[in-house]
């Protein structure tokens, strides 16, 4: 049975831990607000860009582009966007559980974030490239990832590329999502949780006739790489918003649990002190009665 000294030491240790988790909660809350604003701000542009791309390819007729080439899938590329650090609940576990569903043979992994790279190395899967990104993702970081995926696809190293990331839904909810990336013809307009604007509604397939100036080849040749770059950038923003939200919630739960543990330990400590004092009083009374 622990002594009162052991309980006092444990209470002090838990209080120190609670101070750390509280500080991490405040830092994560501050970063979370910025990350959520950035992710939500880019959703309208990403949705409109995706719809424009889908409609342009729909109306391009017989136009072909190397990034639109459909091939028999012998080797599949998976871009996994994870976090660099832990202490964010089950965020990485849920994401990497989805990544583990792909067969080792015929799958090439590209990682963004140390947790994904560690998972690929630990499970002895094929890691083609490893990238990192900051707390505030930069467009250049997304461009580097997208460029590597494009080059691998154009060289024939992979026949299809998908992106696995954590989609931000709310502060309490984040969900792993697998989204097709290459070939471009496989990309469909997706719902990002925002209402369609009047401009987006006009861009439905078959509703608008597109005229290309100077020609469809040059327009799509410039549009496709930019669209792919921004898609990766938006996914980085979604992943970062999910990470900070999950970390804030996890640290809040840890702080609350620490406070409850301190209450329980303090109650146990007081009971032990009370029992000790009662025993001492009984001993004194017994001694006095024996002396009388």
Query: Would you state the pLDDT for residue 185?
Result: 67
The model carries a pTM of 0.84
Q: What is the mean pLDDT of residues 67-75?
A: 89
Q: What is the mean pLDDT of residues 207-236?
A: 80
Q: What is the mean pLDDT of residues 134-147?
A: 94
Query: Would you state the pLDDT for residue 210?
Result: 65
Q: Which of 14, 81, 88, 250 is catalytic?
A: 88
- How confident is the prediction for the chain on average, in pLDDT? 87
Segment 95-137, tens digit of pLDDT: 999 999 999 999 999 999 999 999 999 999 999 999 999 989 9
Q: 227-266 b/e with 16+ CB inside 10 Å = b?
A: bbbbbbbbbbbbbbbbbbbbbbbbbbebbeebeebbeebe
Query: Would you state the pLDDT for residue 125?
Result: 95
Q: What is the mean pLDDT of residues 40-51?
A: 84
Query: Rounded CA gap, 82 and 166, in Å?
Result: 8
Query: 107-112 and 76-81: which strand pairing?
Result: parallel
Query: Above 80 in pLDDT, residue 60?
Result: no
Query: Above 70 in pLDDT, residue 166?
Result: yes
Q: What is the mean pLDDT of residues 215-244?
A: 88
Query: Above 70 in pLDDT, residue 188?
Result: no
Query: Would you state the pLDDT for residue 191?
Result: 41
Segment 239-286, tens digit of pLDDT: 999 999 999 999 999 999 999 999 999 999 999 888 888 888 888 888
Does residue 88 carry a catalytic annotation? yes
Residue ranges of domains in the chain, CATH in brackets: 24-248 (3.40.1380.10)
6-10 own/partner pairs: CB under 8 Å, 24+ apart: 7/265, 7/268, 7/269, 7/272, 8/269, 10/265
Q: What percent of the chain has pLDDT over 70?
A: 86
Task: pLDDT band for 194, please (50, 70, 90 cuts).
Answer: very low
Query: Above 50 in pLDDT, residue 43?
Result: yes
Query: Would you state the pLDDT for residue 208?
Result: 58
SS3 annotation, 114-163 = HHHHHHHHHCCCEEEEEECCCCCCCHHHHHHHHHHHHHHHHCCCCCEEEE
Q: What percent of the chain has pLDDT over 90?
A: 65
Query: Rounded CA gap, 37 and 259, in Å?
Result: 31
């Amino acid at each position: 049975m622990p002594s009162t000294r052991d309980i006092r030491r444990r209470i002090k240790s838990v209080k120190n831990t609670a101070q750390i988790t509280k500080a991490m909660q405040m830092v994560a809350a501050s970063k979370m607000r910025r990350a959520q604003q950035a992710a939500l701000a880019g959703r309208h542009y990403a949705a409109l860009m995706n719809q424009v791309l889908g409609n342009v390819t729909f109306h391009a007729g017989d136009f072909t582009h190397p990034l639109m080439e459909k091939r028999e899938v012998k080797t599949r590329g998976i871009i996994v966007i994870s976090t660099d650090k832990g202490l964010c609940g089950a965020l990485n576990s849920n994401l990497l559980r989805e990544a583990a569903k792909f067969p080792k043979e015929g799958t090439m992994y590209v990682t963004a974030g140390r947790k994904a790279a560690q998972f690929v190395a630990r499970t002895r899967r094929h890691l083609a490239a490893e990238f990192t990104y900051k707390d505030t993702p930069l467009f250049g970081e997304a461009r580097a990832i997208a460029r590597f995926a494009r080059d691998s696809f154009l060289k024939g190293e992979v026949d299809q590329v998908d992106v696995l990331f954590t989609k931000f839904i709310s502060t309490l909810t984040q969900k792993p999502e697998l989204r097709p990336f290459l070939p471009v013809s496989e990309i469909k307009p997706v719902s990002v949780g925002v209402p369609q604007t009047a401009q987006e509604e006009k861009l439905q397939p078959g509703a608008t006739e597109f005229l290309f100036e100077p020609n469809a080849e040059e327009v799509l040749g410039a549009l496709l790489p930019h669209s792919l770059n921004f898609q990766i950038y938006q996914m980085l923003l979604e992943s970062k918003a999910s990470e900070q939200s999950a970390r804030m919630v996890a640290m809040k739960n840890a702080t609350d649990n620490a406070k409850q543990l301190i209450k329980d330990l303090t109650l146990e400590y007081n009971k032990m002190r009370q029992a000790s004092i009662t025993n001492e009083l009984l001993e004194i009374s017994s001694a006095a009665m024996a002396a009388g």
